[in-house]
């Protein structure tokens, strides 16, 4: 590549650096609730391993003891529609279906695949998508890949959503309206009132609800099935999706839906059709963890307790704290200042990542603290003082 061609990219990297928005990989080693970066051992407050299962060595050992070598398939070698439909997928889908009230379940390689695949498959030019302003990038990308018209409503503002529904529902140009949201939001740690959302949906016959529970699966509800279980609306969310890469300590995405939607997606969803399915051993691990998570009530309760304590502490320090969950942002505003504050906390032994635009809106850079069930209440005392 000539210098002239490279310069174009180098200039843009420099600009990111100037703005304090340059992203880089770090060398990470993890052990229990700690992470070591450049020889510094810190309490890991940036993990999505919300129940502490990914770092649990006993679980890992038990899984491998129970899984004989001839079942340790490290590759599916094709899409499920060719030769890759191993029994592990059908077993996990059956388990999901059973706990989610007999509804159909469909697996995906990742949450990202799921969200960039489902919407383009379902939403055509006669579809309107109404999406919360702060949905995850994967859903935005899914919307962009679809041919639907797209309108955003103000974050978590169901009155605004209702206004838009009143405006568009009578429009003959649209045969379907898909309302897209998360239950717990990744950046503010706040949550949608799913019971209210379902009530609104019931007033509009063209509406389908699409709810992403990436941060709630494993963490909320009696059995850890997410906010939909907690608020008793599992049967009312048409497209209930979530991921296994966070609290479930594995990898992949799932959809709970009507069997006709499942059959349709198998025929229309490109990331499902044209990508090699997950290694069966990963799916077996997801199943193993999923069964455990159903009964890990103590971990869920502990996580909720330390989350409430931290939310209150952050508020008492004078920060706005929208969070009602284990994701607790400390919103600072300016990027460079946020990066500097994160550095101070890291030096003190707390691994907290700064989150900057474009991940969050301009001037809302923040420290994003994510708690896991492995953290002890006393671990956070010094952190609160330093804030």
Ligand X SMILES: *Cc1c(COP(=O)(O)O)cnc(C)c1O
Summarize as ranges the residues that interact with ligand X (CB under 6 A). 110-112, 115, 136, 138, 182, 186, 212, 214-215, 243, 245, 253
Q: Are 316 and 285 in contact (CB under 8 A)?
A: no
Q: Are 45 and 371 in contact (CB under 8 A)?
A: yes
Q: Would you say 110 or 338 has its CB closer to ligand X?
A: 110
- Rg of the Cα atoms in the chain: 22
CA 81 to chain centre: 26
Q: Would you say 215 or 302 has its CB closer to ligand X?
A: 215
Minimum separation from the CB atom of position 256 to ligand X (A): 15
Q: Are 154 and 114 in contact (CB under 8 A)?
A: no
Alpha-carbon separation of residue 105 from 1, 80, 89, 114, 237 (angstroms): 47, 15, 10, 12, 13
Minimum separation from the CB atom of position 186 to ligand X (A): 4
**What residue is closest to ligand X based on CB?**
111
Minimum separation from the CB atom of position 361 to ligand X (A): 16
Minimum separation from the CB atom of position 246 to ligand X (A): 6
Minimum separation from the CB atom of position 278 to ligand X (A): 11
Q: Are 211 and 194 in contact (CB under 8 A)?
A: yes
Residue 244's φ and ψ, nearest 5 degrees, are: -100, 0
Residue for token digits 């929208």? Answer: 322
Taking the alpha carbons of 72, 75, 80, 84 in that order, is the dihedral positive or negative?
A: negative
Alpha-carbon separation of residue 287 from 236, 248, 256, 306, 367 (angstroms): 25, 10, 16, 28, 33
Q: Would you say 104 or 110 has its CB closer to ligand X?
A: 110
Q: Would you say 254 or 313 has its CB closer to ligand X?
A: 254
Q: Are 249 and 296 in contact (CB under 8 A)?
A: no
DSSP-assigned letters across all residues of 309-359: HHHHHHHHTT------SSEEEEEEESHHHHHHHHHHHHHTTEE-EEE-TTT
Minimum separation from the CB atom of position 288 to ligand X (A): 18
Structure token pair of residue 89: 């997928």
Minimum separation from the CB atom of position 223 to ligand X (A): 20
Q: Would you say 79 or 162 has its CB closer to ligand X?
A: 79
Minimum separation from the CB atom of position 143 to ligand X (A): 13
Q: Are 209 and 201 in contact (CB under 8 A)?
A: yes
Q: Would you say 369 or 383 has its CB closer to ligand X?
A: 369
Residue for token digits 């706040």? Answer: 190
Q: Would you say 106 or 313 has its CB closer to ligand X?
A: 106
Q: Would you say 115 or 387 has its CB closer to ligand X?
A: 115
């Amino acid at each position: 590549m000539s210098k002239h061609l490279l310069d174009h990219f180098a200039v843009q990297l420099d600009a990111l650096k100037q703005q304090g928005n340059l992203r880089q990989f770090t060398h990470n080693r993890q052990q229990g609730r700690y992470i070591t970066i450049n020889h510094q051992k810190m309490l890991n407050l940036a993990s999505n391993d919300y129940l502490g299962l990914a770092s649990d060595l006993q679980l890992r050992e038990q899984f491998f003891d129970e899984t004989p070598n001839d079942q340790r398939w490290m590759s599916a070698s094709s899409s499920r529609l060719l030769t890759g439909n191993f029994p592990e997928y059908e077993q996990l889908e059956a388990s999901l279906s059973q706990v989610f009230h007999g509804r159909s379940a469909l697996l995906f390689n990742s949450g990202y695949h799921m969200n960039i695949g489902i919407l383009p498959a379902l939403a055509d030019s006669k579809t309107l998508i109404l999406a919360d302003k702060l949905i995850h990038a994967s859903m935005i990308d899914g919307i962009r890949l679809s041919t639907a018209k797209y309108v955003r409503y103000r974050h978590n503002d169901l009155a605004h959503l209702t206004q838009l529904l009143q405006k568009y529902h009578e429009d003959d140009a649209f045969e379907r309206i898909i309302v897209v949201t998360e239950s717990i939001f990744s950046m503010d740690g706040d949550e949608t009132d799913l019971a209210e959302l379902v009530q609104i949906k019931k007033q509009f016959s063209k509406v389908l609800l699409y709810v992403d529970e990436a941060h709630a699966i494993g963490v909320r509800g009696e059995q850890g099935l997410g906010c939909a279980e907690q608020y008793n609306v599992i049967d009312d969310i048409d497209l209930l999706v979530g991921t296994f890469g966070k609290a479930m300590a594995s990898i992949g995405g799932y959809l709970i839906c009507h069997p006709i939607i499942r059959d349709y997606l198998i025929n229309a969803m490109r990331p499902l059709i044209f990508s090699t399915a997950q290694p069966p051993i990963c799916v077996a691990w997801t199943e193993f963890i999923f069964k455990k998570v159903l009964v890990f009530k103590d971990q869920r309760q502990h996580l909720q307790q330390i989350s409430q304590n931290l939310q209150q502490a952050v508020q008492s320090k004078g920060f706005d704290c929208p969070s009602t969950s284990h994701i607790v942002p400390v919103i600072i505003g300016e990027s460079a200042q946020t990066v500097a504050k994160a550095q101070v906390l890291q030096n003190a032994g707390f691994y907290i990542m700064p989150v900057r635009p474009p991940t969050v809106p301009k001037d809302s850079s923040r420290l994003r603290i994510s708690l896991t069930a492995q953290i002890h209440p006393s671990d956070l005392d010094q952190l609160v003082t330093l804030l």
